[in-house]
Chain A
Amino acid sequence: MKNFMMIFIGADYADLGLSQEEMQGRMEKWFAWGNKMEQAGVLKGGEALTPQIRRIVGQNRTVTDLSSAEVKEIVGGYYLVEAIDFDAVQEIAQDFPDYDLGGTVEIREIMVFDH
């Protein structure tokens, strides 16, 4: 078993102008997905991120504050899951609710160092 991170990238909900009904519907899908992973015992953790961004770049440590409206693609959150390989995580990621909003799931393996 290995550990993987599923990173969610896409437009921020606030900028998509979702209606109350749509927001509730999305939430219920996320909830169902999280439940499914928990019951399968694969879910190890995860968080949602707020849309404010502070970027620090380069030698001069140049700071910019950005809002989600200025960035088309924003990392909205992540889940940590335990699985055999990439293919297994890909299977888990089928239930990600926001593909229809143009969302992306990026799967990365957590690096393990030999002690």
Chain B
Amino acid sequence: MNSKNLDHLFRHHHGKMVSVLTRIFGLSNLEIIEDAVQDTFLKASINWRKKQPDNPEAWLTKAAKNRVLDIFRKIQAEKKHLPELKSGLESIAVNELFLDAEIEDAQLRMIFTACHPKLNPKDRISFALRTISGFSSKEIASALLTKEETIKKRLFRARKFIQESDLAFKIPQGQELPHRIESVLEVIYLIFNEGFHSNKKEVLIQKELCGEAMRLCKYLLKNKHTNIPASYALFALMCFHAARLDAKINTENELMDLKNQDRNKWSFPLIQMGNTMMNKAVENNEFSTYHYEAAIIAEHIKAPSFEQTNWKKILTWYECLHKLQPTASHLLIMGVVCLQSKNYIKANYYFEQLNPEDLEQRSYLFYSAKADYFVATNNKKEAIIQLNIALEKVTNRLEKEFLEKKKLTIN
């Protein structure tokens, strides 16, 4: 078996089949559709034990097509609302919906449905990971560090909302499109960040979430209505981040900050891909937060070594970003950037402006940065005090070890 080609085949195909069948039967029959798809995988997994089909993807698509009639009967038996279906389900129309381009179109419709602004943001992520990405509630729970019960509730809420509000299973048009894309990009970026900043020891699940976010973004890039500059910029940003995933954890399993990362471990193909996407993203002058974030990471990547980082440029990008989207973490980072370029007065100016509470569970980063500031300005005593606060606030074991090491170097 060539399992390289099979990587996550079931998971990825889940979204395709659910989307196409939803296009035929409507969102109100989502549960029946999901059950039918689940059952198809079950049959495939047993059927393929002895011999894999030559073209597993085609096999699954055909199996989904064969389920159309079953689902139709089931919906009739349950006397559920049936959408306007052309008589004779074996009609050409249904067959056409299983062509590659149509499958992609259906997936995109599902992405817009999952990321609908009326859905609670947390429900959006869970629903997207379940319906489009084929994660089970247990897998979502473990990826998002949440209880499985909570995820099940979120999925239930999302389904209920979608069925009750009679959402159109469509790619939004005209005036509505830009802000709907914004909400999709936001969900994709959140999924990516869940993976990238995961407090989990298992690197695998991180990578899977990051990969999944990138896969979803590709659907936007393939469609001429949704491949707007911000979509390219987000994809570039994710490439640049993902390029550094392997370097985040070194062999001793300690979190490496950028300074100590082994730059040889960065993935060159991903960086190249990021650059290509960035060039597409700046074809016109509509800059999104993703543009500035990508520009910042690109600066880091461009630098041959940490010491040669162009901090001035990075600070400029952060100022643009902060103007577009003021947040406590931007202030913190601008402060840290000023420390790097030994501009201590300006660093303190940014630190003064921010309330560490706003950083929520990442507030330890503020105290750790303050400690760096006091070390740089020769106030060891105050630096230790700040580090102790940071150690109180930190929850992640790797980060904790990192801070403890820092404390040892001060003494």
Contacts and interface: CB of A to CB of B under 8 A. Distances in A.
Interface string A52-93: 000000000000000000000000010000000000000000
B48 A20 contact: no
B345 interface: no
Contacts of B41: 20, 23-24
Interface in B41-78: 41-42, 44-50, 52
Nearest to B11: A20
Contacts of A40: none
A13 interface: yes
A28 B6 contact: yes
A20 to B, nearest CB: 4
B135 A19 contact: yes
Nearest to B8: A21
A27 interface: yes
Interface in B96-149: 134-136, 138-139
Nearest to B14: A20
A14 interface: yes
Given A17-B136, A31-B1, A23 B49 contact: no
A34 interface: yes
A23 B41 CA distance: 8
Which one of B1, B10, B11, B13 has the highest number of Cβ atoms from chain A below 10 Å of its Cβ?
Answer: B10
B139 A21 contact: yes
A32 interface: yes
Given A13-B45, A14-B39, A28-B6, A20 B136 contact: yes
Contacts of B1: 28, 31-32, 35
A12 to B, nearest CB: 9
A19 B49 CA distance: 17
B8 A23 contact: no
Interface of A: 13-14, 17-24, 26-28, 30-32, 34-35, 46, 48, 77
27 contacts: A13-B46, A14-B42, A17-B136, A19-B11, A19-B136, A19-B139, A20-B10, A20-B13, A20-B14, A20-B134, A20-B136, A21-B135, A23-B10, A23-B41, A23-B45, A24-B6, A24-B10, A24-B11, A27-B49, A28-B1, A28-B3, A30-B49, A31-B49, A31-B52, A32-B1, A34-B49, A35-B1
Secondary structure of the A contact surface, majority rule: helix
A42 B181 CA distance: 57
B7 to A, nearest CB: 9
B93 interface: no
Given A19-B11, A20-B134, A35-B1, 18 more contacts: A13-B46, A14-B39, A18-B136, A19-B135, A19-B136, A19-B138, A19-B139, A20-B14, A21-B8, A21-B134, A21-B136, A23-B45, A27-B46, A27-B48, A27-B49, A31-B1, A31-B52, A34-B50
A27 B59 CA distance: 15
A26 B52 CA distance: 13
B51 to A, nearest CB: 8
A48 B6 contact: no
Interface string B10-29: 11011000000000000000
Which one of A13, A14, A31 has the highest number of Cβ atoms from chain B below 10 Å of its Cβ?
Answer: A31
Contacts of A20: 10-11, 13-14, 41, 134, 136
Contacts of A31: 1, 48-50, 52
Nearest to B139: A19
Contacts of B6: 24, 28
A13 B40 CA distance: 12
B9 interface: yes
A21 B10 contact: yes
A27 B45 contact: yes
A16 to B, nearest CB: 10
